[in-house]
Amino acid sequence: MGSASNHLVTPSAVDSSSPLPSNLTQDDLKKLAAYKAVEYVKSGMVVGLGTGSTAKHAVSRISELLREGKLRDVIGIPTSTTTHAQAVSLGIPLSDLDSHPVVDLSIDGADEVDPSLNLVKGRGGSLLREKMVEGASKKFVVIVDESKLVKHLGGSGLAVPVEVVPFCCDFTRGKLEELFKEAGCTAKLRVTSGGETAPPAVTDNGNYVVDLYLERDMGDLEAASEKILRLPGVVEHGMFLGIATTLIVAGKAGMTVRDRFG
Whether the per-residue pLDDT at 20 is higher than 50: the answer is yes
Whether the per-residue pLDDT at 95 is higher than 90: the answer is yes
Closest alpha carbon to 206 in 172, 168, 235, 239: 235
CB 111 within 8 Å of CB 54: no
Catalytic residues: 130
Q: pLDDT tens digits for 212-232?
A: 999 999 999 999 999 999 999
Q: Given this model, what pLDDT does residue 252 score?
A: 80
Q: pLDDT tens digits for 38-86?
A: 999 999 999 999 999 999 999 999 999 999 999 999 999 999 999 999 9
Q: Is 114 exposed, middle or buried (0-12, 13-18, 19+ CB in 10 A)?
A: buried
Q: Given this model, what pLDDT does residue 25 score?
A: 87
pLDDT band for position 185 (cuts 50, 70, 90): very high
Q: Given this model, what pLDDT does residue 18 score?
A: 61
Q: What average pLDDT does the chain have?
A: 91
Domains delineated in the chain: 9-149+241-260 (3.40.50.1360), 160-234 (3.30.70.260)
pLDDT band for position 261 (cuts 50, 70, 90): low
Q: pLDDT tens digits for 126-160?
A: 999 999 999 999 999 999 999 999 999 999 999 99
CA distances to 77, 203, 209 from 143, in Å:
17, 23, 24
